[in-house]
Amino acid sequence: MRGVFSRGSAKGLAVLAAGVLVLSACSGSGGKEAEEDTGGEGPRLEIAMVTHSAPGDTFWDIVQKGAQAAADKDNVEFLYSADPDGGKQAQLVQAAIDKKVDGIIVTLAKPDAMKDVLARAAAANIPVVSINSGQEESAGLGALAHFGQDESIAGEAAGTELGEIGAKKALCVIHEQGNVGLEARCDGARKTFDGDLENLFVQGSNMPDVKSSITAKLQSDKGIDGILTLGAPFAATAVDSVKEVGSEARIGTFDLNKDLIALLKAGDIEFAVDQQPYLQGYEAVEALWLLKRNGNVLGGGRPVLTGPAIVTKDNAAELEEFANRGTR
Amino acid sequence: MTDAVAEPPVAGRGSDERLARQSPLRRLLGRPELGALLGAVALFVFFSVVADAFLRAGSFSTVLYASSTFGIMAVGVSLLMIGGEFDLSAGVMVTSSALIAALTAYQFTLNVWAGVAISLVLTLALGMVNGLLYVWTRLPSFIITLAMFFMLAGLNLGVTKALTGNVASDSVRDMDGFDAARAVFASDLDVLGLRVKITVLWWLLFVVVATWILLRTRTGNWIFAVGGSAASARAVGVPVARVKIGLFMGVAFCAWFSGMHLVFAFATIQSGEGVGNEFLYIICAVIGGCLLTGGYGSAIGAAIGAFIFGMTNKGIVYAEWNPDWFRFFLGAMLLIATVVNLIVRRRVERTP
């Protein structure tokens, strides 16, 4: 029994007592520790992003990565959901409202479908910002800010580039029929392109079909000397088609990915119009955080443009590292 | 025996219609693919007239390539439909199969042939799961494969993103064995001065094998029998469960082959691809004379159906019609081809 109260044990008890004293002296709230703990000042925020993306889309993957990066820095819980169908997208926004999140980020590809649910978000005092599509409708539907690339402006930039690479008769490859944004890009390009720009519809979910359709078009019209694709994976396929037909057509595209950087460096693709999807996600989360934490409004009530940024052979190497990481 | 099952009943003059003699011409007219063949000829003539570029040799090889990518899947799908079942997971399974090969080869830094082999095993296993689920639950294959469709679509994205951090597989273009595999699955061949994709030859081979199975083997008889009436087939001793599982695995095999073509033609695979293609395969089979109710059809018919589909699909591009109307033209052409098919078959059945 003596062993229990040996010198060693007594010393241990003393340490324990001291520890208890120190612990009980800690404040449960406030103080330096609380400030450091939360990182983003104040309690953790919850921000939901609801987009019209189809599953597995590279572009939206990068948007999410940007939003997640901002969320990690700002101590924000980032929730993502998406549905290409307007009605179902509205239901997902309603779900976010029901969850009483601190802020909502939406895309307005189908503005009418979102009108009622955004009014309900306003009634629930949840701030909303919009990204990507719906620049015109954004303010009218009560969004505080919009982050995106104006599709027409981006299209115009692409049209100018097409002219610069010397194309006279070009194709605009639409990989999703009836998508307003894609049509707007082609229309924008048509505005600034001096030559003739013709639309070609391909089934984007079926790569062999994309390839054979572009091949068929090049075979039927040997005069085509330029191709503008509206998504990075389709540009790589267009390169194959051009090689197969032995056509002289030069290729430009919208959006970036890592394979595209290699093709840009090799000169197979002349230019890429990047709308910097990473920024759309990042800035939207940051905007809501600034609003909640400091009452700021980014953009001063006007749309904030995230693009177009033109990538060519000259600057492709600088972006390689980021594209390989899947954030450009 | 095979012909008796394969052909629609024709009224005979004798006491037993099955023993009635038929002239070779009548037998030809009774084939399920005849209507589709006439539809194909009509479309070919039509596009030759309206599209200048359509008749060029290079264009024809593009049409054949487009047809082969649908046609290879239509072989498996038509056999399954003759056997009385659907597979709605077929379109996404192609992407799954391609992803399995690309991801395993890249992630474990294997020779791409190892990825090809692993993909074959796993894709066949997927087909087997479809079949086993069908046999065990006795639910309609429509439901089973619809569930499989959603699960595979989710797995394609989820697994790809978990492994690569992106939504597409990493490029396998510079890996060991890529060139050899490309030669097998996605190369160009020179046939009599015409550049032909190797998929076209594989497609023809698959059609020949499937036709041989259907018309010259006992398995073929079993396929028609289980599609006509599973209960009667079981009563006369046909191993219905085994035949159906085998048919689902046949579709899986075609999906594997198509998937390998994707991997070696494009090197990276987008995980969201393939959705919606399952219906195109079914459409090819139906244009080619397969009945939606099973028990009737042919692999050659499905091949002609795929040819009609490929021809329409690319013919519209060669004809340079307004792309906004593309799908309308596509639908209208398919409707016309199918109606021609129907009229021909009805007329054949009616004439004594």
Instruction: State residue B55's pLDDT score.
Output: 86
d(CA A226, CA B252): 39
Q: How confident is the model at residue A324 (pLDDT cuts 50, 70, 90)?
A: confident
Total number of domains in chain B? 1
> Are residues A209 and B313, on separate chains, in Cβ contact within 8 Å?
yes
Q: Is the pLDDT of residue B20 over 80?
A: no
- 8 Å CB contact of B66 and A209: yes
Tell me if B320 and A221 make a contact (CB, 8 A cut-off).
yes
Q: Do B157 and A56 touch (CB under 8 A)?
A: yes
Cβ-defined contact of A220 to B324 (cutoff 8 Å): no
pLDDT tens digit sequence for B186-209: 998 888 778 899 999 999 999 999
DSSP code of residue B89? T
Closest CA to B262 of A24, A296, A10, A210: A210
What is the reported pLDDT for A12?
55
Are A56 and B317 an interchain contact pair (Cβ–Cβ within 8 Å)? no
Residue A169, token pair as written in the block: 């008769």
- Six token digits for residue A5: 């109260």
pLDDT at site B200: 95
Among A201, A206, A233, beta carbon nearest to B326: A201
Give the side-chain half-sphere CA count within 13 A for B284: 32
Residue A18 has pLDDT above 60, yes or no: no
CB-based contact, B61 to chain A, within 8 Å: no
Contacts of B63 in chain A (CB under 8 A): 212, 216
Residue-level pLDDT at B3: 43
Chain A residue with minimum CA distance to B154: A55
CB–CB contact B66 A212 (8 Å): yes
Residue B149 pLDDT greater than 70, yes or no? yes
- The residue-averaged pLDDT of A37-44 equals 61
Amino acid letter, residue A229: T
DSSP 8-state secondary structure symbol assigned to residue A83: -
Q: Once rounded to an integer, what is the mean pLDDT over residues A139-151?
A: 90
Tell me the CA end-to-end span of chain A in Å, nearest whole number: 70
Can you tell me the mean pLDDT for B146-165? 93
Q: What pLDDT does residue B7 have? A: 46
Cα-flanking dihedrals φ and ψ of residue B219, to 5°?
-55, -40
Residue A203 with chain B: CB contacts under 8 Å: 276
Instruction: Flag if B266 and A213 touch (Cβ within 8 Å).
Output: no
| Pairwise CB contact (< 8 Å): B266 & A58 | no
CATH of the domain at B192: 1.10.3470
Please indicate if any CB of chain A lies within 8 Å of the CB of B314. yes
So what's the pLDDT on residue A167? 93
Give the pLDDT of residue B2. Answer: 41
The CB density around residue B20, as the number of other CB atoms within 10 Å, is 13
- Average pLDDT value for chain B: 88
| Category of A56 on φ-ψ map: left (φ > 0), alpha (ψ -120 to 50) or beta | left
List of chain A residues whose C-beta atoms are within 8 Å of the C-beta of residue B274: 205-206
3-state SS, residue B236: coil
Closest Cα in chain B to A220:
B53
pLDDT of residue A181: 81
Which chain B residues have a beta carbon less than 8 Å from that of A209? 66, 69, 313
pLDDT reading at A195 higher than 90:
yes
Whether domain A45-149+277-296 has CATH 3.40.50.2300: the reply is yes
Token pair recorded at residue A32: 């330096």
Domain segments of chain A: what residues?
45-149+277-296, 151-274
Does B9 have pLDDT greater than 50?
no
pLDDT for position B140: 93
Tell whether B273 is within 8 A of chain A (Cβ). yes
B161 to chain A: which residues are within 8 Å by CB? 61
pLDDT in tens, A29-38: 555 554 444 4
The string of DSSP letters for A154-197 reads HHHHHHHHHHHTT-SEEEEEESSTT-HHHHHHHHHHHHH-SSEE
Write the DSSP symbol of residue A54.
P
Q: What pLDDT is stored for residue A1 in this prediction?
A: 41
Given phi > 0 = left and psi -120 to 50 = alpha, else beta, which region is A249? beta
Q: What is the CATH number of domain A151-274?
A: 3.40.50.2300
pTM here?
0.80
Of A205, A221, A227, which to mutate for an interface test with B (greatest number of B Cβ within 10 Å)? A205
> Is pLDDT of B210 > 50?
yes
Residue B130 has pLDDT above 90, yes or no: yes
Its domain, for residue B143, covers 33-350
pLDDT at A78 over 90: yes
Q: Which of A208, A220, A233 sits opposite B53 (nearest CB)?
A: A220
What are the chain A neighbours of B272 within 8 Å (beta carbons)?
Answer: 54-57, 205
Complex ipTM: 0.75
Report whether pLDDT(A41) > 80: no
Cβ–Cβ gap A213/B317 under 8 Å: yes
The arithmetic mean of pLDDT across residues A151-173, rounded, is 93
- The stretch A135-141 carries a mean pLDDT of 88
Chain B hits for A216, Cβ within 8 Å: 53, 59, 62-63, 66, 314, 317-318
pLDDT tier at B35 (50, 70, 90 boundaries)? confident
Q: Looking at residue A28, what is its pLDDT?
A: 53
Confidence band for A19, pLDDT divided at 50, 70 and 90: low
Our CA-based measurement puts residue A1 at a distance from the nearest CA of chain B, in whole angstroms, of: 58
User: Which residues in chain B are closer than 8 Å to A199, comparing Cβ atoms?
Assistant: 323-324
Nearest to A56 among B69, B267, B272 (CB): B272
Q: Which of residues 218-247 of B touch A (CB under 8 A)?
A: none
Helix (H) or strand (E) holding B301, with range, is: helix B299-318
Does the structure show a pLDDT above 90 at B52? no
pLDDT for A36 equals 47
- pLDDT tens, B234-266? 999 999 999 999 999 999 999 999 999 999 999
Q: Calculate how close chain B gets to A289, using CA atoms only, in Å.
A: 26
Taking CB atoms and an 8 Å cut-off, how many pairs form between chains A and B?
A: 117
Residues B255-296 have pLDDT tens digits of: 999 999 999 999 889 888 898 899 999 989 988 888 888 888
Average pLDDT score over chain A: 86
Find residues 150-189 of chain B whose CB sits inside 8 Å of chain A.
Answer: 153-154, 156-157, 160-161, 165-168, 171, 188
A216–B272 C-beta distance less than 8 A: no
In a domain, residue B308? The reply is yes
Q: How far is B235 from chain A (nearest CA, A)?
A: 43
Q: Which residues contact A51 (CB under 8 A, 6 or more apart)?
A: A60, A63, A80, A81, A82, A89, A106, A107, A131, A132
Whether B1 is in a domain gets the answer no
